[in-house]
Each structure stands twice: as C-alpha cells, then as structure tokens.
A and B are shown apart, each in its own frame.
Chain A
C-alpha cells in the first residue's frame, strides 16, 4: 500500500526532529534576542508577600532541591535570596534533601550575604540538612531544635544570637517552601498553614505550579513555577540574574516541540478528512 503525504508527515524519523530541535535551541544561546518578560499574578503575590513583611520578621526557607534541577530553579533561588538580603529580615535556611545543602553552598557563593551587610548568626542562619518528609516538617514547626539541635557548622542553636528567640511556629512570620515533588506542597499546607496559619509562599518546577494553584491565594500567597517565574521575579524585584538568559533561550527552543505537535496533528487531520481512517 503506497503511503500518502499524511502518512509521511506522521512517520518522520524522530532523530531528524531531535536534531532540528537542538539547532533551534542553540541559536539564542549563541545569539541572544532579549525580549521583555511580563510578570504574572502568582509571582507578584510571591514578591509582595516578602515585600510587605515588617522589618525584623522571621522567614524560614525550606529547600527541597536537586542539583539536577538547578537549571529550572536557579533563577528563583538567586532572586529570592537577593530580595531577602535586601530587607531587614531574619532568615533561617534549612534543607530537606541532601542536594539542598550543596545548592545552598553554591547560592551563597553567588549571592554573598556580606555584600548586603548581613552577618551570620545575626541576620541569617543555616540549619543544615535533615531527611524531612511531612513528619519532619511537623517536627520543625513544633520545635526547631528537635530536628536541628545544631546549625550547619555544628554550633548549638542556643549559642547563636539570632536563634535565641526562634523556637517554633509561633516565631515564624513567613515560610518560603521550595519543593520538586508536585504533591509535596501539601506538606507545607498541612503542617504549617492549616494548624498554625503561617503565611506561606512556594517555589517549584514548571509542571508542579499548576497543581499548587488550587491553594492560591488562600493557603499559598505566591507561587514561583519554573525558570520563567524566576525571570519574572528578577524583573519585579529589579535584580537581574540567570532567569533572563534562560527565558531568552527558550524562545526558539520551543519551536521544535511546536513542530512535533503541528506535524502530528496535520498528519492526523489529513488522514481523517482526506478519506483515510486510522
């Protein structure tokens, strides 16, 4: 049976399409375009929640991050750190994945707190890593020292000036919750927001953002979803960073996927309305 143009369109060797996609991705990397980035409502909520905090507020940053996913969330992390350090806030960083501490090492090498006049133990503290699932978040909310008796550098928390008045949920004004597993947003909601009405904003991957929207804005006041949201946060906060470059590179890279979709559907519609049935 001879194949029609529609069959040919529907049976192109994937490797040709892969190669085309790669070339399209390379173009803006080699020659950036530079287009404006609009800011969405969920990102605006994220930024304004931090911006509206009174001076001296305590912010907990929970990082469930992966080094493999740094491309997607790097812009979010860097922009958030800059926003936090530009304000008079007390920030407590902790991680719930092993990679989280390595990510913090990298972030603090990029965003130097001392450049913003921040001192360790006075303005910010790193608690370190603990394998916290939902149970662990509940433990931290009830008593920080039960999970983190010492900070990342081994100093007992009671010897750190900033931590003298920070013990549990009562002392936390905002939780910034970064996560990479889509349903884990519910850990923050169930263990911080519902029992203690802690204000909460989240940052996550592009595919998990839509799943957090049902909780916006009542339980979660802001959502960063993917690297695009990181770029938007850079724009709204006035802190240029890697998000703009990544956003730029996506401009042509997405054309490969659109080509896949268009070819597949043209083939289907051609076969359907051209007299053949599948």
Chain B
C-alpha cells in the first residue's frame, strides 16, 4: 500500500520530469509530443481543480464561525458568500457572460477599487516603515538608500527637470550595480532551484508532494 501511496507518485513525478529534461537535449518528435501532452495536461488539471479555492474559503469561514458564533460573526461569515454568489450569478446570467456590462460594472466599481486600494495603502505603510527603519547606520544602508532614492527620483519628472544629472546616474545605478547584484542573486537562486528540482526528481524533496 505504501508503494501506491508514496513510491508510485514519486516515480510518476520523476518520469515526467526526466522526459521533459530529455526533450530539451534530444531533438525527438516523440519527446516533443510527450512534452506537449504533459504540459497541456497540467493546465487542464489546474482548471479542473478551480473549486478548491471556494471550498477552502468556506472551510476557513466555518472555522472562524465555530470559534466565535455571535450574531456579528454570522454576518461576516455570510459576506464572502454573498459577494461570491453576486459575481457568479451575474457572470453567468447576462448575455456576454463575463464580458457583459453588468459584470463589468461589478468588476470596475467593486473588485478593481478594493484590489487597487489595498496596494495604494502600501504606500503609506512602506513609507512609515522607511521612516522607522531606513537609517544611514552602515555602508549597506547607505547603498540601499542612495541607490534607491536616486533611482526613484530619476522616475519623477520634476526632479529630473531640476537636476538633469539624475537621469544618467539613475540609469547607471539600474544597469551597473543593480545588474551586478541582481545577476549574482539570479545565479545563486538558480543554483538553489536546480538543487531543489533535482532533489525533487530523485524523490528526496517530499514537501512539494506531501499532503497535510
């Protein structure tokens, strides 16, 4: 039973991975066809499991309600479902489905506004974090502040108008020290990902497949 529960899924994982790696190095129509089929399958699997998100949301809300079964909690519990039903029903009921003017209204005036404002709020939280922590206390902090501030001001027309040298300096910071640091990080991250990937194919990295 352990074979069916553990070894067989790991073997399938390794087989899929190895076939696709081989396809890259060996020009073979059979391997190409396998790659095309497997990559399409992975998209279909993702699409088929789309209701998992709704189920997890329902489960999380039920747990919160169970911990605190007050009248107000019932209201908060039902709210996501109300909006889910509102968007879902409008999205399937009108001609054009998700392209209908009715769905577009909901998307433009509710979905887009809330989502965009969540990011907008980050301006203030990040600014207050910078106020508390971005101090010129070390060379590294100076590098971070200097590089960041110059690159930021390079993007603001008013400052480029007042100090034209910000333009070439900002570009230089982006294309030289940022590229250098970024490239080093990319190489190391890639080596790390490679190690994890190969360990996964060898069945040594169980966390990616394990179910909790």
Which residues from chain A sit less than 8 Å from chain B, CB to CB?
A: 14, 17-18, 21, 33, 35-38, 40-42, 66-71, 101-102, 105, 130-133, 135-136, 138-139, 142-143, 146-147, 195, 206, 209-211, 213-214, 216, 226, 228, 247-248, 250-252, 254, 256-258, 260-261, 263-265, 268-269
Contact = CB atoms under 8 A, between A and B. Distances in A.
Given A143-B36, A250-B156, 20 more contacts: A14-B131, A18-B128, A21-B127, A41-B171, A67-B111, A101-B98, A131-B46, A132-B43, A139-B40, A139-B42, A195-B24, A214-B186, A226-B155, A254-B153, A260-B130, A261-B149, A263-B131, A264-B130, A264-B132, A268-B136
B211 interface: no
Contact of B128 (A14, A132, A213): A14
B183 to A, nearest CB: 4
Contacts of A18: 124, 128
Contacts, number: 145
B158 A214 contact: no
Contacts of B82: none
A251 B112 contact: no
Given A36-B157, A37-B157, A268 B130 contact: no
A265 B158 contact: no
Interface stretch (B4-12, B61-69, B174-182, B202-210): B174-182
A257 B130 contact: yes
Contact of A102 (B104, B119, B175): B104
B179 A213 contact: yes
A247 B161 CA distance: 13
A69 B156 contact: no
Given A18-B124, A265-B134, A265-B135, A67 B115 contact: yes
Given A139-B43, A210-B178, A251-B156, A261 B145 contact: yes
Nearest to A72: B119
A18 B35 CA distance: 53
A211 B174 CA distance: 10
B1 interface: no
A130 B43 contact: yes
Contacts of B99: 101, 105
Given A135-B43, A261-B149, A70 B112 contact: yes
Contacts of A69: 116, 119
Contacts of B151: 210
B157 A261 contact: no
Interface of B: 24, 32, 35-37, 39-40, 42-43, 46-47, 98-99, 104, 107, 111-112, 114-116, 118-119, 123-124, 127-128, 130-137, 145, 149, 151-153, 155-161, 167, 171, 174-175, 178-179, 182-183, 186
A100 B125 CA distance: 28
Contacts of B39: 135-136, 138-139, 142, 146
B73 to A, nearest CB: 28
Contact of A268 (B47, B137, B159): B137
Given A14-B124, A265-B136, A251 B167 contact: no
- Chain A interface, DSSP helix/strand/loop, else mixed: helix
B42 A136 contact: yes
Contacts of B134: 261, 264-265
A27 to B, nearest CB: 12
A14 to B, nearest CB: 5
B83 to A, nearest CB: 15
**A36, A71, A213, A248 pick with most chain B CB within 10 angstroms:** A213
19 contacts: A67-B107, A67-B111, A67-B115, A68-B112, A68-B115, A133-B42, A135-B39, A136-B42, A138-B39, A139-B36, A214-B179, A214-B182, A254-B159, A257-B127, A261-B130, A264-B132, A264-B134, A265-B134, A268-B137
Contacts of B136: 265, 268-269
B107 A102 contact: yes
Given A213-B175, A251-B157, A261-B145, A21 B119 contact: no
A109 B25 CA distance: 45
A261 B136 CA distance: 10
Contacts of A216: 175, 179
Contacts of A268: 135-137
A256 B98 CA distance: 39
A68 B116 contact: yes
Contacts of B42: 133, 135-136, 139
B128 A136 contact: no
